[in-house]
Amino acid sequence: MDASRTRAPWRVASVTALVCAALLAFGCRAPVAPAERDAPTAGASLPLSVSDLQGQYLKVIKQVLPSVVQIQASHDLGSGVVYDGQGHIVTNAHVVGSEKTFKVTTASSEEPLTAQLVYSYPDQDLAVIRLAEVPDGLRPAAFGNSEKVQVGQIVLAMGSPLGLSSSVTQGIVSATGRTVSEGSSGGGTGATIANMVQTSAAINPGNSGGALVDLNGQVIGIPTLAAADPDLGGSAAPGIGFAIPASMVKTVAGQIIVSGKVVDSGRAALGVTARTVVDDSYRPVGAAVVTVRSGGAADRAGLRPGDVITKVGGTAVTTTTELSEALAVARPGQRTTVIYQRNGAGTTAEVTLGEQ
């Protein structure tokens, strides 16, 4: 997904947001006719008042914010979430980069603590580090089931945006199931990540690796990146951020903690490296195969270097990013069709996908 390709109808969206905010300020209650004002309300379902909602915010922040830490690498700053009582902290792979040792500031530590890298998995932009010494009062976060997340849920993003530790922003879940490709410049991993949670809560540099939390106090995602708007010079598009779903975080972090690495990625692979090819008008027209891994899915299906992939399953492929996105939503062992060009002729191959 390229979140910057089209611009949303901002004027309409802004008006809608203002209307919803106004309703919330008045308890979301519709005007009552004079004759109805004294009508009995026993058994009626009353809306959550502003004071109740604020109280819930404060409760969740008090519960979860102590589990969110600041991570300092040599030249980068990010966030992390305490995963267990043994000092394991989950964060983004792009936060740790290529470094092995970090300074971590927890809610209960007066001085930064030392942490070591356990394992980094750039393909999913996740990593686990571990504190050399576990301080008293270290509080693990509770990770929820991101498959139950619904559009419209109120969420809080917690982290250290721009180095401002223990910061909280508020928004809603704007969409689920997004497939997003991360850039490789500026320290990005270039990963294509499926099933991301889209949120309107502000995601700024330094929020990466922090916590996206629901009003039950459960982490439903790890904030990772914000959409870029080319009309704003490539800067972050306000209100469009993405978080890696908690279910994937638990799968990856759990394997790293037990095995020291990811042993079952759950991510489909074609077994090729590729590059984008363009036509005479410089429009991308496919992903040209550069190398084919021996014994991999593409090799078994008969693909060779020089073939230009134009479709995977029902998804058209004009760039390597689109190829990655098509594979990101597939599963290892899944059978699919790959359409490609060889010497100007179109060919269809049946492929059983492998695993990254």
Q: Which active-site residues does the annotation give?
A: 94, 125, 208
Tell me the H-state helices in 260-340.
Answer: 297-301, 320-328
User: Which phi and psi angles does 87 have, rounded to 5°?
Assistant: 90, 10
337 torsion bin: left (phi>0), alpha (psi -120 to 50), beta (else) = beta
H/E segment holding residue 102: strand 101-105
Q: Determine the Cα–Cα distance for residues 215 and 329; give it in Å rounded to an integer.
A: 29
CB of 289 within 8 A of CB of 311? no
Q: Determine the Cα–Cα distance for residues 212 and 222; give it in Å rounded to an integer.
A: 6
Distance of CA 266 to the CA centre of its chain: 16
Tell the burial category of 233 from Cβ atoms under 10 Å away from its Cβ (0-12, 13-18, 19+). Answer: exposed
What are the E-state strand segments in 161-271? 167-181, 192-199, 211-214, 219-229, 235-245, 268-269
Instruction: Please spell the DSSP secondary structure of 2-58, one letter per residue.
Output: -TTSS---HHHHHHHHHHHHHHHHTTTPPP--GGGTTS--TT--PPPPHHHHHHHHH
214, 193, 63, 209: which is closest to 149 by C-alpha? 214
Say how many CA atoms lie within 13 Å of 175 toward its Cβ: 13
Q: Which residue has the tokens 């270039």?
A: 190
> Which two three-digit tokens encode residue 102?
């970090």
189 torsion bin: left (phi>0), alpha (psi -120 to 50), beta (else) = alpha
